[in-house]
Chains A and B, each alone.
Chain A
Amino acid sequence: MTDEPTIVIRDLHKSYGTTQVLRGCSMNVARGEVVVVCGPSGSGKSTLIKCINGLEGFQSGSIRVEGVEVGGKSTNLPKLRARVGMVFQHFELYPHMSVLDNIALAQVHVLKRTRPAARERARELLKRVGLQEKADAMPADLSGGQQQRVAIARALALDPQAILFDEPTSALDPEMIHEVLQVMTELAAEGMTMVVVTHEMGFARRVAHRVVFMDAGEIVEDAPSEAFFSAPKTQRAVEFLSKILAH
């Protein structure tokens, strides 16, 4: 076990055709840290975290997750992804399977657990997110907030070292945002390493250790959360905060 941070991003560059999406981003995420990534839309935040688990490629730079080079030619991506979970903006539960099977699937096919063991673990996780009675329901029967909590349980099922969150509450009706943030707060308290792309500044302030502010593909500020909110160093961060905290 090295002292290297869990996630190390160095000078990452990415473009789509002629459009530069990420310009030389560098950041670290230590074990147990909760990092919030924020910024205006189009700043590249979602692209950045999708690079971490290899869902998006990049042209230059490097990303190391637990010492493994994400862009490496011989890297086993599925194996890496089993150690880093992801929660999506639109939940992405598999609609043709029950809630329980959604959580059990990757356990059986990636971790090679037996089906009974997987389902048992799934029930535990459902209990943890407060949805044990929904085990046999289909995703379409659940509210958005419930679906997202199931999605978090699904990500936890592989016992990951870290979880990436891509705007987990942006697609939710306001009254359901709280239940999802609640689960995320508990996860953080338990010491999970988390990278969260979000606009929920209340969550960032209370729960995050660090805030990374991005704009136009660059990491503009990277500071402990209290410092970021009370004394932002750059003009762009100041403007962003004033807009987002205004309402």
Chain B
Amino acid sequence: MTYQFDWTPIWEARGLIAEGLLVTVAVSAVSLAFSVVIGFIVGGAASAGSRTMRGLALLFTETMRNIPLLIHMYIWYMAFAFLRLPAFSCAVLGLSLYSGAYVAEVVRTGIGAVGRGQIQAALASGLTRLQAMRLIIYPQALRIIAPSLASLFSQLIKDSSLASVIAVAELTYQAGAIDGQTFRTFEVYITISLIYLVLVTAASQLVLLIPGSRSEAAAGRFADA
């Protein structure tokens, strides 16, 4: 191996790395917020009594999940170019719809896992269906799905790297820029790999903030979504 290791240019480029990191976190956090909202709405619809609602929810999740994320982003960036959305928004839209479909699936199974007797007890005491969902079913479902949500959040952070392809200046994009300047290819890519590793681990721990989440959240570090 004739490769000369030199880590100093990486250290010198830490400003760019920090900027990229910030953008990665921003893209991921915003997309997470949207995905959770989308996921809860669609997941709730998928558990509804009406067959049309369930059908629509199924259509949404199957379509969004089976189209590659990269295509999602290209669609917003290129096919909808007339909207003149900034690259950041295209990335967020693509990520939110794609992840939202996964969250919906998780929410649907979570709702199903709350025992049938619970909703009967809630209804029997005179709560409306909406009240029962809000006060009794969703809180319990949230605890059940917390580990899966941790996995999805981790996956979201990794998926955000694709935003670099549509010129969002997040971590992977900056890595490419630094490589172009310094030619320290190996060092730069190993460095950002390790940064992603740290990010992903931290993200999966955040889910423990949800009161009552079981400690299996720690086990759900990496996504298999």
Contact = CB atoms under 8 A, between A and B. Distances in A.
- Does A associate with B in a complex? yes
A154 B121 CA distance: 10
A88 B116 CA distance: 12
B181 interface: no
A95 B140 contact: yes
Interface of B: 115, 117-118, 120-128, 131, 135-136, 139-140, 143, 212
B124 A85 contact: yes
A90 B117 contact: yes
A79 interface: yes
Interface stretch (A20-28, A61-69, A105-113, A217-225): A105-113
Nearest to B211: A96
5 contacts: A80-B126, A81-B126, A85-B124, A86-B124, A106-B126
A158 B126 contact: yes
Nearest to A95: B140
Main secondary structure of the interface of B (DSSP, over half): helix
Contacts of A229: none
Given A94-B118, A105-B135, A109-B135, A81 B123 contact: yes
Contacts of A238: none
Given A109-B131, A109-B135, A96 B143 contact: yes
B117 A88 contact: yes
Range of interface residues on A (Cβ < 8 Å): 20 to 34
A96 B127 contact: no
A93 B126 CA distance: 15
Contacts of B136: 94
B125 A110 contact: yes
Contacts of A78: 123, 126-128
A86 B140 contact: no
A164 B124 CA distance: 10
B120 A92 contact: yes
A76 to B, nearest CB: 10
Nearest to B126: A82
B121 A110 contact: no
A157 B127 CA distance: 13
A55 interface: yes
Contacts of B140: 94-96
Given A96-B143, A109-B131, A81 B117 contact: no
Contact of A109 (B117, B118, B124, B127): B127
B120 A88 contact: yes
B210 to A, nearest CB: 11
A188 B81 CA distance: 72
A9 interface: no
A155 interface: yes
Nearest to B116: A92
A77 B124 CA distance: 9
Contacts of B212: 96
Interface in A72-130: 77-82, 85-86, 88, 90, 92-96, 105-106, 109-111
